[in-house]
Amino acid sequence: MRSVLQGIVVGLRAHGEHGAIVRMMSDEQGLVAAYVRGARGRRLGPVLVPGNVVQAALSARNDTQLPQGAIELEHSRGPLFSEPLPAAAIAWACALTATALPEGQPYPRVHGALTGLLDAIEAAPSAAGWGAALVRFELLLLAEMGFGLDLTECALTGTSHDLVAVSPKSGRAVSAEAAAPYKGQLLTLPDFLRTGEAKAFWSDILEGMALSGHFLKRDLLVERSAIILDARERLMDRLRGAAGVA
């Protein structure tokens, strides 16, 4: 069996002396894993960097066998890894994708959102230009895995106006009036998630990351999957540093 796909490299695990199992996020097939010979060598090492777009020619004897892949680079984001904050963001977004999604199932919305996020990181002069996209990406992954938040109306009053907070238990929005008695117990709903703005202030980005992070830790990245949260914490440290928050 042979096939060719275009995918974003999201994970690489050493296998054998020089090879690796490479995970790629594709539009039509979702998360795909393949064994790549020489993946950690001089030629392929710079190609199989998280965030890079590659073309993979896959071959396997049957549907149950892990395919072998011949990889060619289509677009490199390797230079961004010389910048600590973009590097941390790309590493985290790719690790989250590789960990959260099951293999072999198409998630076109996730693929599109990941592509958009990586493009924004590549194009924007600072994280203020892509921080909102990162929060939305995390919330989308939660929704695609069945843990979506309801930010459309107040959980207590049913109104869609003046939504300012989110219940950490139900994941539903709360209006300013209904939130007043529960000050300090609710998560902040940043403005950009209500208005749809592409960019956000630093304070809103950090509040958005706190919001999505709460539900990622509670619902999605549990037990063995929680190990990747270290990468998110490194990213958060760099975001706080860029925002001037101790």
- CB half-sphere exposure, 68, CA atoms < 13 A: 6
**Which amino acid would we find at residue 206?**
L
Short-list 96, 15, 13, CA closest to 51: 96
Structural domains of the chain in order of their starting residue, each with its CATH number:
2-76 (2.40.50.140), 79-151+189-243 (no CATH)
Angle CA 233–237–241, to nearest 5: 165
Q: Give pLDDT tens digits for 70-86.
A: 999 999 999 999 999 99
pLDDT mean by block of 10 residues, the chain; 246 residues: 92 90 96 94 94 95 85 96 96 98 96 98 93 98 98 94 96 96 95 89 96 98 96 96 84
Tell me how far apart the alpha carbons of residues 166 and 107 are, in angstroms, rounded to a whole number: 26
Neighbours of 200 (CB within 10 A): 24
- Encode pLDDT of 50-71 as tens digits: 999 999 999 988 777 899 999 9
Alpha helices in 101-190 (DSSP H): 108-123, 131-144, 176-179
pTM of this prediction?
0.95
> Contact at 8 Å (CB) between 204 and 192?
yes
